[in-house]
Amino acid sequence: MKYTLVSSCVALVLLTFGGVDAYPRNKQTKPTKQPTLSVSLKANADYTPNVRASLAKAVAKFTKHSERPVSNSNAGDSGTVSIGVVPVVDYGHDIMYYGIVSIGSPPVDFKINFDTGSSDLWIASTMCSSCTTQTLYNSTQSKTYVKDGRPWSIYYGDGSNASGVLAQDTVVIGNITIANQTIELAQQESSSFAHGVTDGLLGLGFGSITTVDGIKTPFENMISQGLVDSPVFGVYLGKASKKGGGEYTFGGSNPSKYNGTLHTVPVNSSRGYWGVDISNVKVGNTSVASGFDGILDTGTTLLIFTEEIANNVAKAYGATGNGDGTFRIACDTSKFKPLVFTMNGNDFYVPRDSLIFQQDGDYCFAAFAYSSGLNLSILGDVFLKNNYVIFNQEVPSVQIAPSIDQF
Ligand SMILES: *[C@@H]1O[C@H](CO)[C@@H](O)[C@H](O)[C@H]1NC(C)=O
Ligand SMILES: *[C@@H]1O[C@H](CO)[C@@H](O)[C@H](O)[C@H]1NC(C)=O
Ligand SMILES: *[C@@H]1O[C@H](CO)[C@@H](O)[C@H](O)[C@H]1NC(C)=O
Ligand SMILES: *[C@@H]1O[C@H](CO)[C@@H](O)[C@H](O)[C@H]1NC(C)=O
Ligand SMILES: *[C@@H]1O[C@H](CO)[C@@H](O)[C@H](O)[C@H]1NC(C)=O
Ligand SMILES: *[C@@H]1O[C@H](CO)[C@@H](O)[C@H](O)[C@H]1NC(C)=O
Ligand SMILES: *[C@@H]1O[C@H](CO)[C@@H](O)[C@H](O)[C@H]1NC(C)=O
Ligand SMILES: *[C@@H]1O[C@H](CO)[C@@H](O)[C@H](O)[C@H]1NC(C)=O
């Protein structure tokens, strides 16, 4: 969810709730081998999944962005250069995934929550006196810092917020160096963010939902500055129950992280998200819901539906509502059938082991939830850690195949 905040602030939210918080065009390319940025891959055993927090975070996040107007940004063209790979850390048993992004000259490394459900690049700065646990961006120490000065602010539905000023600097993502990237420097963060495990958030949604109009997202700049071979990025999110970790591949994809055939699904980016049309949801072979909109969001931990759909899914698994959007489900999933999403005529699976998100003794919380405040469904990390997705910003569309961690 990144955030509950859905968008930009996703990362922030996590802390608070503990929670949770995702164009084909042909260029001449000159494929090169990508260098790999290395970050240790590990699951954090200290973090306890919290379904309620994850749900609250997602709600807060989307409450903001669902109202924003849409417009389009364009990629430029130019010849291209490479692929950038960023390993990510699986934090808190699949609650959130973050990787290292370097900003400034000389470069400073920041822990950044990658969020396809928002579009801002936001970091803590030395102007923020309450930001105590984070690496702070200090503009006087970067030779490539360029002042902008326009204000930005983000308010989430849960009351958390952050604000500051815009600047420009050099940003390095997996060995891809973006010049003149607009960054949002926080001068103030509410406590959930100020004490979080990440230093900021990197939005991989569309430019139409940046908090300040007209800013290009880092991925849009990678495309317009000719820095990637192709206008796509591949996302592998690992499962803590396997090896954890994960990887974003900018400008390409990594076939060693999926097993099976890639199927294309058209994307509706009119709300700024990676929107997909879900024609059917099945439990095993039994349809429980059909014909609704969803978004692919690496920044949201759970599967979040409208109340009606969630209740149908719950019923099929014998799960009971807790009255707050979460469900209690049996801890023994051995008889469960997989949850199946049909998109563009193909089925994509969430296997039974992923249907429980949190276990407290013999009380298990389902990995799906609802919010009456949201008018769209969110295929968050519960879906994405089972399915490898190649996001194509130009078509736009996605290609999805079973991730190696699905089995
Ligand atoms: C890419 O990353 C590798 C490993 O961190 C590093 O050795 C290499 O110099 C980098 N390449 C470029 C072009 O920045
Ligand atoms: C920022 O960097 C400058 C120059 O190195 C230094 O004087 C200043 O103390 C730093 N600010 C903070 C808050 O660390
Ligand atoms: C970045 O900005 C500088 C100064 O305006 C300009 O000279 C340079 O061409 C820009 N680089 C890119 C890749 O836009
Ligand atoms: C931002 O959040 C803090 C902490 O929750 C709160 O005290 C403050 O009033 C909020 N600011 C705004 C403008 O909402
Ligand atoms: C895309 O989504 C918008 C908003 O949900 C909707 O109005 C529009 O009809 C959709 N476009 C297509 C082609 O489905
Ligand atoms: C769906 O039905 C087919 C044919 O009866 C069966 O082979 C398959 O195992 C079923 N799939 C699931 C997930 O139950
Ligand atoms: C939710 O979206 C659907 C279709 O996009 C629309 O028909 C419905 O009126 C919306 N409901 C609310 C509460 O916004
Ligand atoms: C891919 O799937 C095949 C068939 O199910 C299986 O034999 C193979 O081990 C899988 N490979 C990986 C890397 O999961």
> Would you state the pLDDT for residue 63?
60
**CB of 126 shorter than 6 A to ligand 2:** yes
The DSSP secondary structure of 362-406, one letter per residue, reads: TEEEESEEE-TT-SSEEE-HHHHTTEEEEEETTTTEEEEEEBTT-
Residue in the block written with tokens 């406590």 = 191
Which one of 115, 120, 169, 199 is the catalytic residue?
A: 115
- Percentage of residues of the chain with pLDDT beyond 90: 67
Report the run of H or E that residue 221 belongs to, with start and end.
helix 218-224
Structure token pair of residue 225: 């500055």
pLDDT (mean) for 275-284: 98
Question: Tell me, what's the pLDDT at 48?
Answer: 57
Q: Residue 49's pLDDT is what?
A: 65
Mutate to test the pocket of ligand 3, among 180, 220, 225 (most ligand atoms within 8 A of CB): 180
At 112-171, the pLDDT tens digits run 999 999 899 999 999 999 898 889 999 999 999 999 999 999 775 556 678 999 999 999
In the structure encoding, which two tokens stand for residue 349, read together? Answer: 């699976």
Look at residue 217 and tell me whether its pLDDT is greater than 50. yes
DSSP string, 97-132: EEEEEEETTTTEEEEEEEETT---EEEEBTT-TT--
Q: Which residues pair with 277 in a beta bridge?
A: 293
Between 29 and 149, name the one with better pLDDT: 149
DSSP string, 125-162: BTT-TT--SS--B-GGG-TT-EEEEEEEEEE-TTS-EE
Predicted pLDDT of residue 319: 98
Q: Which domains does the chain have, with CATH numbers?
A: 37-256 (2.40.70.10), 257-402 (2.40.70.10)
Residues lining ligand 4, Cβ inside 6 A:
155, 159, 161, 190
Tokens representing 267 are 């994307």
- Among the bound ligands, name the one nearest to the CA of residue 407: 8
Q: Which residues line ligand 3 (CB under 6 A)?
A: 179-180, 225
The count of C-alpha atoms lying within 13 angstroms of the C-alpha of 60, restricted to the half-sphere facing its C-beta, is 31
Contacts for 219 with CB less than 8 Å, ≥ 6 apart: 204, 233, 250, 393
pTM (predicted TM-score): 0.84
Q: Whose CA is nearest to atom 8 of ligand 1?
A: 35
Phi, psi (rounded to 5 degrees) for 367: -85, 5
Task: Tell me: pLDDT of 206 over 60.
Answer: yes
- In the structure encoding, which two tokens stand for residue 273, read together? 């998200």
Residue 115 annotated as catalytic: yes
| Interval 290-315: pLDDT, tens | 999 999 999 999 999 999 999 999 99
Residue nearest atom 13 in ligand 1 by C-alpha distance = 175
Structure-token pair, residue 142: 């970067």
The finding on whether 139 has its CB within 6 A of some atom of ligand 2 is: no
